[in-house]
Amino acid sequence: MLLTLAALVVAFGPAPVFGPPTDRRFHLEAHSFAYTPSTLTVNAGDRVTLELAAVDYVHGLYLDGYDLNLTAEPGHTERLTFVADKPGSFRFRCSVTCGALHPFMIGKLEVGPNWLLWRAVGLAGLAAFAGLLIACR
């Protein structure tokens, strides 16, 4: 009974909130065929500004899930600000055909902690504990 209650809390309980949303700014350098940095981490609700600077050729940045696009000419920086209101992991990719390895020019935006993963880990731990209890009877 207690294990069932714990499993329900882990699966459906409210996720903790870590502080108020803040302004986050990232300067990304786009060069053939990568972004530096390639992984961005923010909390859900943060106001995010992306600055895209193309180093060698024209490059773009299309953010999956948010449907946002930026294009930067070499030597110029383009900016985009949005609120990261969708938690999860989102790919961004170059939106301008820039060369042979263009399809592999990708990066990742992580919004908020991955509560789905932590809930799954919690449930797996409870299942293992329940299995031990049953085995010891």
The residues that touch Cu ion, with contacts defined as CB under 5 A, are: 94, 98, 102, 105
At closest approach, how far in Å is the CB of 57 from Cu ion? 8
Strands 47-54 and 77-83: antiparallel
Cβ nearer to Cu ion, comparing 28 with 98: 98
Cβ nearer to Cu ion, comparing 26 with 62: 62
At closest approach, how far in Å is the CB of 101 from Cu ion? 8
CA separation (Å) from 118 to 16, 32, 46?
12, 36, 21
At closest approach, how far in Å is the CB of 96 from Cu ion? 5
At closest approach, how far in Å is the CB of 126 from Cu ion? 45
Cβ nearer to Cu ion, comparing 61 with 111: 61
Cβ nearer to Cu ion, comparing 40 with 105: 105
